[in-house]
Amino acid sequence: MDHLGSWRFLKVFLPAVFALHHFCHAETAPYYSFVQEATSAPLVSYYDYIIVGGGTAGCPLAATLSESANVLILERGGSPYLDPINKTDKENFFLPLLDPSPHSYAQAFVSEDGVYNHQARVLGGASVFNAGFYSHAETDFIKEAGLDGSLVNDSYLWVEKKVAFKSPVLQWQSAVRDGLLEAGVLPFNGFTYGHINGTKIGASIFDMDGHRHSAADLLEYADPMKIKIYLHATVPKIMLITEIGSRPRAEGVIFEDALGVRHTAFLTKDSESEIILSAGTIGSTQLLMLSGIGPAHQLEALGIQVVMNQPMVGQGMADNPLNGLFIPSPLPVEVSLVSLVGITQFGSYIEAGSGLNLAPSLVQWISKSLVTILNQTEAKVNSSSLLGARLKVGIIIEKVNGPISTGHLELQSTNPNDMPKVMFNYFQAPEDLRKCVQGMETLINVVNSKAFSKFRYPTISTQDLLNLVATLPLNLRPRHLNTATSLEQYCLDTVMTIWHYHGGCHVGKVVDQDFRVLGVDDLRVIDSSTFNFSPGTNPQATVMMLGRYMGIKIQQDRHS
């Protein structure tokens, strides 16, 4: 077959294979007739709303807008429903994160801080492989964002009807709960969606059987006649028109299918039509820059035509630091992933998981370090009895709220598939470091509590546990002589991400209160890139709520 012939063959054949594959799994997952491979898209099409990124915000937003207009989602990843259902179950949380293949739901990267991190690449976004905890924003967050409280509540409820479940609290999680109470993270607030100081049981997008639900399930609310979703549709650029004497205006987007063929989707001439970026903190920020909206000197250096010099795009990006301990247990531990949270008065959140499948490489690291450390102590622990594919290990972590420290994003190339350079400057603000140290002190008190005693070896001291993490290659940052003996140094050296990064398109700096890009017509950004702070203990409830909320707001504007 000549080159063109094989290309034609693929173009006809591939979508058929994908379609068949989808059909075969239809009974185990929602089958959406409106989800198709981008290879099957016409070269030119028209929609009232074009949403870039079918992620945690994009799915509820599109489903809502389809109630009264024609909507297109362009998603660079594939469907979350084609793989075996257990791939994203609770016990397999670490597996997508450690899967280096280009088909992994999680695109791995290392930030300039030397911390491993991930960006979503699948319909449903990060909700398809995150830790599942579901908890509302603090009331101050809603107030400061100027959102309508009653529509916020209705929108949370709309999300919860489909994807929120009460988390089971078995033996190990109960011990953590009681340990938090002993450590003074009071009062106990029982089960609640609300963000209240003290210890609480939260909801989860994992159901009682440990099966995951995600923002993609919210597409069940969509009107199938008014929505179209293309997968493996990567948007390299928003098309902006600039006419002399008027503001730049978004008129359409370019998208590339799996075969590299470029398609164009235009807005209908309807005056209310809009393009909405929901490509996530990194994706939306990157896409504004690729489209010519960003710091002029940076764009010019890459040969991007500057549509609007906007120095704030990519500034003020932040990631909440995560630090914690691995705690080998003499007793079996249940499979659990963040059923509860300790909300401390000083601004650190404590969460935990146990009995998870760790990839063989991680098991090897932990075993090796553990054996060495146990050999150096008086502990009479048979280290090989701790190890197996599923370690008898619990993990307790703390997240610094806010944070105050911020960084920035810089493009590395004009290729939308290349990760931009991202720097978060963890712990640059002393207050963030202070919260981490206090959080670690509280966490250590939980481990040392009476309630938790049956799930730890008395012979493995908390200093041994700190030593263990200090010797694991969990990031690429330098270790120091006092990494494991000074909690300050421990926070700095063993920092990881809780993947709650946000910012880059802040409200008031890049978008207005209604998330319209400042200085540009027919273009909004609705996702985690607009947040000044990470909402609540964990952001996804609020990201999904915002998608629904803005879908309603935009429809109200359209009809008034």
Ligand X SMILES: *[C@@H]1O[C@H](CO)[C@@H](O)[C@H](O)[C@H]1NC(C)=O
Closer residue to ligand FAD, CB minimum distance, 8 or 103: 103
Provide the minimum distance between the beta carbon of 371 and ligand X in the complex, in angstroms, as a whole number.
5
Look at residue 84 and give the partner it binds from ligand FAD, ligand X, none, a contact being a CB closer than 5 to 8 Å depending on partner kind: ligand X
Residue of 254, 299, 389 whose CA lies nearest to 335: 389
Look at residue 433 and give the partner it binds from ligand X, ligand FAD, none, a contact being a CB closer than 5 to 8 Å depending on partner kind: none
Look at residue 54 and give the partner it binds from ligand FAD, ligand X, none, a contact being a CB closer than 5 to 8 Å depending on partner kind: ligand FAD
Look at residue 194 and give the partner it binds from ligand X, ligand FAD, none, a contact being a CB closer than 5 to 8 Å depending on partner kind: ligand X
Look at residue 230 and give the partner it binds from ligand X, ligand FAD, none, a contact being a CB closer than 5 to 8 Å depending on partner kind: none
DSSP string for 406-434: -EEEE-S-S-TTSPPEEE--TT-SHHHHH
Is 500 labeled as catalytic in the residue annotation?
Answer: yes
Provide the minimum distance between the beta carbon of 498 and ligand FAD in the complex, in angstroms, as a whole number.
7
Amino acid letter, 552: I
* Contact yes or no for 405/427 (Cβ under 8 A): yes
- Considering only 80-88, 171-179, 239-247, 287-295, which stretch makes contact with ligand X by CB under 6 A? 80-88
Amino acid letter, 421: K
Burial class (CB in 10 A: 0-12, 13-18, 19+), 42: exposed
* Contact yes or no for 462/447 (Cβ under 8 A): yes
Closer residue to ligand X, CB minimum distance, 69 or 370: 370
When asked if residue 84 is in the footprint of ligand X (CB under 6 A), the reply is yes
* Contact yes or no for 353/338 (Cβ under 8 A): yes
Provide the minimum distance between the beta carbon of 247 and ligand X in the complex, in angstroms, as a whole number.
35
Q: Which one of 86, 361, 364, 412 is in contact with ligand X (CB under 6 A)?
A: 86
When asked if residue 189 is in the footprint of ligand X (CB under 6 A), the reply is no
Closer residue to ligand X, CB minimum distance, 475 or 540: 540
Q: Which of residues 149-168 bind ligand X (CB under 6 A)?
A: 149-150, 153
Look at residue 197 and give the partner it binds from ligand X, ligand FAD, none, a contact being a CB closer than 5 to 8 Å depending on partner kind: ligand X
Q: Catalog residues that contact ligand FAD under the rule CB under 6 A.
A: 52-57, 74-77, 97, 118, 120-122, 125-127, 129-133, 234-235, 278-281, 283, 287, 338, 416, 499-500, 527-528, 538-540, 543
- Residue 505 CB partners (closer than 8 Å, separation 6+): 277, 284, 285, 288, 313, 511, 517, 525, 529, 530
Residue window 93-112: x/- pattern of binding to ligand X, with contact defined by CB under 6 A:
--x-----------------
Write down the catalytic residue from 22, 136, 195, 500.
Answer: 500
* Contact yes or no for 540/548 (Cβ under 8 A): no
Provide the minimum distance between the beta carbon of 354 and ligand FAD in the complex, in angstroms, as a whole number.
15
Provide the minimum distance between the beta carbon of 296 and ligand X in the complex, in angstroms, as a whole number.
40
Please identify the residue of the shown chain whose CB is closest to the bound ligand FAD: 55
* CA atoms within a 13 Å half-sphere pointing along the CA-CB vector of 116: 13
Look at residue 408 and give the partner it binds from ligand X, ligand FAD, none, a contact being a CB closer than 5 to 8 Å depending on partner kind: none
When asked if residue 347 is in the footprint of ligand X (CB under 6 A), the reply is yes
Residue 482 CA, distance from chain mean position = 32
Provide the minimum distance between the beta carbon of 6 and ligand FAD in the complex, in angstroms, as a whole number.
26
Amino acid letter, 531: F
Q: How far is CA 176 from CA 171, 336, 339, 346, 358, in A?
A: 9, 12, 10, 19, 21
- H or E element that contains 383: helix 383-386
Q: Is residue 540 marked as binding?
A: yes
Helices then strands, counting H and E runs in the chain, come out as: 14, 28
Q: For the chain, give the longest Cα–Cα distance.
A: 79
How many residues touch ligand X under the rule CB under 6 A: the total is 18
Residue 283 phi, psi (nearest 5): -65, -45
Q: Which of residues 376-405 bind ligand X (CB under 6 A)?
A: 382, 384-385
Residue 324 phi, psi (nearest 5): -175, -165
Amino acid letter, 69: A
Q: Which one of 40, 68, 174, 197 is in contact with ligand X (CB under 6 A)?
A: 197
* CA atoms within a 13 Å half-sphere pointing along the CA-CB vector of 261: 18
The residues carrying an active-site annotation are 500
As annotated, the binding site for FAD includes 75-76, 122, 235, 499-500, 539-540
Name the site residues for ligand X (rule: CB under 6 A). 84, 86-87, 92, 95, 149-150, 153, 194, 197, 345, 347, 371-372, 375, 382, 384-385
